[in-house]
Structure 1
Amino acid sequence: MDVIIIETPQLGDRSYLIHDSEVALVIDPQRDTDRVEKTAAEAGVRITHIAETHIHNDYVTGGLAFANQLGAVYLVNAADPVAYKRTPISDGETIQIGGFLLKAVATPGHTHTHLSYIVTSESGEQAVFSGGSLLYGSVGRTDLVSADDTVALTHDQYGSVRRLVEEAAHEAALYPTHGFGSFCSSGPASGAGESTVGEQLSTNHALTDPDEEHFVHELIANLTAYPSYYAHMQPANTRGPGPADLSVPDSLEPAELSRRLEDGEWVVDLRNRVAYASNHLQGSVSFEYGDGSSFTTFLGWVLPWDKKLTLVGDRDDVQNAIRDLSRIGIDSPDAALGTDPRKLAADTAVVSYPRLGWEEMLTDRPENETILDVRRTDEYASAHIPGAVNIPLHELLTRMDEVPAGKLWIHCGSGYRSGVGASLLQRAGKDVVHIDAMFGEAEKAGVPLES
């Protein structure tokens, strides 16, 4: 039995292809299934089964469309009220897939109907696919279904991980879907790249805390904000999403891009934030693509849902951004291909704003000008600059009337969110300075902090 990991670092998730050199099972595929298809072809195996651990809250699944494309068996919990045909599977049920046996184990907590899968080869080797249940060092968060269900689901999570490790061999390799940067994880995730059931027994707080009430209280107390687009994922996955369209559209004519900017449509500049600060189309917003590690989460979290997007950037970045956005159900954005704003739009002003570090902030900022901290409230509470105003980036558009008048010096934890925030504020007519610096280096630069 061989397990191949298919990483989606942009969302902090993993999918898996398990095979016996002939047939394969796929668990929790992302929507861009061409990656999985390529992996199977390289391994020389045929995908016969696709399984979901749960109805996902952080991405649109590719499972249904992929199963239909391949004619594969699509395994989804019998208790999930989905609107499409699937092969139902329930707690304790086993299915033979080539040379290995799959067993479903009910592990409610991340969702009410969450399943984990124990896969056992003919030689007795085991692997556990735990989805959003048991993670490396932690567990999946329990507040995504409903605020009213969070306490009960947290109690369920505590019991579920215990049941899972009782059913599996201690030497079994553990393969969670979440926990690699996904907001679907909670608690002190270890950051490890691999683990076993036995290792988690001695290191995971969900298994080492003997007091269930303490575990429940601590986990809930430490839950932080999560992306607003999550609200749209579960309904989409319950309805049954179709395949992703990853094609790059024809580039817009300059006059049409100018019209969209004039009309206040969302035009997203994918260039790095340094280039954007120095020159960009008035009315556009900055969501630096880079390696995509922050792009999808923050764009989906910050911009209004279901509004038409126009992506501006070079073809590679636009193509990659289209792929990434499809994973959260943002389909078919338009594009203006190119990196020179002056050539992309007719009769639209090219503007800029200052981009500085901590040292320049200390020397150049008058005391009466506002420092705006766009980090999450939990980050602000941990440490912040005295007198800084905190409006988290994901709340900025809805709280624009709370933004102080005058020049704004905007910072976050790394420079990414503050770059987005500066662009949103300038679009709204504010006078901005982007502090593009690591918050962890502020105190060393002489910036006073308090908590």
Structure 2
Amino acid sequence: MGFADDHLVPLVDEGLGNSAYLLDLGDGRALAMDASRDLRALHAAAERRGLHVAFAADTHLHADFLSGAVQLGHDAGATVLASAAGRRAFAHRGLADGDEVDLGGLTLRALATPGHTDEHLSFLLLDGSRELGVFTGGSLIVGSAARTDLLGADRTEELARAQYRSLKRLTALPDETAVWPTHGAGSFCSAPPGTERTTTIGAQKQTNALLGAPDEDTFASRLTASLGTYPAYFDRLAEINRRGPAVLTADPLLPALSPQQVRALTAEGGHVVDVRPAADYAAGHIPGSLSIPLRDQFATWLGWLLPDTAPLAFVTGEDQDPSEIVRQAYKIGYERLAGRLAGGMSAWLADGNRRTTTAFVTADRAAGRPYVDVRQESEFAAGHVPDAVHLELGGLPAAAADAPHGPVVACGHGERAMTAASLLERAGHTDVAVLDGGPADYAAHHGLRLVKGTENTRS
């Protein structure tokens, strides 16, 4: 059993693809690293171990979630540790390259590792002179390095080159040094697929293709070529994190709304989000509502597809927890939550309102329809149905006119496809069907071979 097993608790957010860490300092105190505003898992881990959070550190100004550091400072009196170059507008201890923090027996040393952001720090954990591990945030991650285009296309290559130099610095650490990244598989900050979320310097030197680049030019070219799209809310959160998210003094609630209040909200420019499973939405939903099933990825698609400036009402199922909606929305800065429809769709229909249905079909019932694939480009390239029309879900609001008439919309299983169908219906499309399954199911039933790359010709 090693140091990490004894003292370090990874806290994985499967939806956003990130890891926070709770470090047991051995004296009843703890360090929280890159904690999000949704602190439930961190508080539970600290309570289990009888720990008080004395320090809350952030490796960078996060774009994909609101930091929980300010809240920990308020609730627990934690000292917030962050880069001085980030110009944060709240109480914190600003650190520069080489600065050290005495954690009481252990030492945290700041290492300037720009690339993902300008002010990015990695934090090297030391026991005396021995390097135990390094919190690499959005610098070195398992199998890759974090994206460098969040500050604009005009700076992407410059930051990629900075990332190269930062990774060179990190890989100069001893091979046995543990690597504890923030971004992991599922993160739109550029982590490749995989199950491993922590690693070592030595393992990455052997397996990370980016680290095998022979020079800075090749590294920058490889990294920038791998960058896909990312959620729209990423462009807003770094500045909110710089100013400091608002402190929550009570658990936010989701009030009950009558059908009349929901109708009034939409008439005034608000949005209705239906969080029920895809099959329930298909069977009957409020016309014009957006389907975003309540699951780990809920926050990502809420923040990608809807503005944070309009009030939101939610349609839930009987067994769904409204507090989960609130926590996921708040961690990406969505706070204009008007409430949820009391009584759900039954109340809506009992009030004399209309509902709409969407065909949710298996592969045998999808024949003859144009096939629209709404997965990410990397997923599409890994294998898609011949002649499929590729329209990424995140870009669909602007590309709805490009969708063919009467399509079957598909993703990997059906959840994102139902979201896409709801967007197409909002844009005026009729006769939209959703595939209950993925491309492999469709291809197997119709005797097709999946096509790799971006080629769309039947093979």
Give the structure-2-normalised TM-score: 0.89
| 2-structure distance, mates of 1:184, 1:176 | 12
Cα displacement (A) at 1:76: 1.3
Map of 2:142 onto structure 1: 136
After TM superposition, list the pairs within 5 Å mapping 1:13-92 onto structure 2. 13-22=18-27, 23-92=29-98
The letter of the residue matching 1:434 is V
Pick from 304, 307, 313 the counterpart of residue 307 of structure 2.
304
Amino acid at match of 1:300: G
In 2, distance between residues paired with 1:13 and 1:224? 17
Change (3 A) 1:447 1:151: farther
Superposed, which structure 2 residues align to 1:222-371 within 5 Å?
Answer: 222-244=226-248, 246-261=251-266, 265-289=270-294, 292-313=295-316, 314=318, 316-337=320-341, 340-344=344-348, 346-362=351-367, 365=368, 369-371=369-371
Q: Which residue of 1 aligns with 2:101?
A: 95
1:371-414 C-alpha deviation (Å, 9 max, x unpaired)? 3332344544565445443332222222334444x423222233
User: Which deviates more, 250-259 or 116-125?
Assistant: 116-125
- Tell me the SS of whatever aligns to 1:260: helix
Deviation at residue 153 of structure 1 after TM alignment: 1.1
SS in 2 for 1:24: strand
Q: 1:176 is matched with which residue?
A: 181
**TM superposition shift of 1:339:** 6.5
Identify which of 187, 194, 198 aligns with 1:194: 198
SS of residue in 2 equivalent to 1:444: helix
C-alpha displacement at 1:350, in angstroms? 1.9
- Secondary structure of 1:280 counterpart: coil
Question: What RMSD over aligned residues (CA atoms) do the two structures have, in Å?
Answer: 2.3
Q: Which residue of 2 aligns with 1:437?
A: 437
CA distance in 2, matches of 1:387, 1:180: 29
Q: Does 1:164 align with 2:177?
A: no
> What amino acid is aligned across from residue 309 of structure 2 in structure 1?
D
Per-residue CA distance 1:66-119 (angstroms, 9 max, x = gap)? 113322211111111222232111101111111211111111111111110111
Identity %: 33
- The one-letter amino acid paired with 1:355 is F
- The 2-side partners of 1:16 and 1:380 are apart by 33
Q: Secondary structure at the match of 2:140?
A: coil
Distance between the aligned counterparts of 1:376 and 1:419, measured in 2? 15
1:439 deviates by 1.7
Residue type at the aligned position of 2:102: Q
Instruction: Give, in whole Å, the separation in 2 of the partners of 1:337 and 1:18.
Output: 41
CA–CA separation in structure 2 for the residues paired with 1:146 and 1:438: 34
Letter in 2 for 1:351: T
Q: Say if 2:309 and 2:336, in contact at 8 Å, map to a contact too.
A: no
| Residues 112-139 of structure 1 deviation map (CA, whole Å, 9 limit, x = unaligned) | 1111011123594602100001111111
416-425 or 441-450: bigger deviation: 441-450
Matched, 1:212 2:216: yes
Deviations 1:326-345 (A, max 9, x none): 11101141322567413146
Q: Which residue number in structure 2 is paired with residue 374 of structure 1?
A: 374
Using the TM superposition, give the Cα deviation of residue 141 of structure 1 relative to its aligned residue in structure 2, in angstroms: 0.9
Q: Secondary structure at the match of 2:136?
A: strand
Gaps of 5+ in 2: none
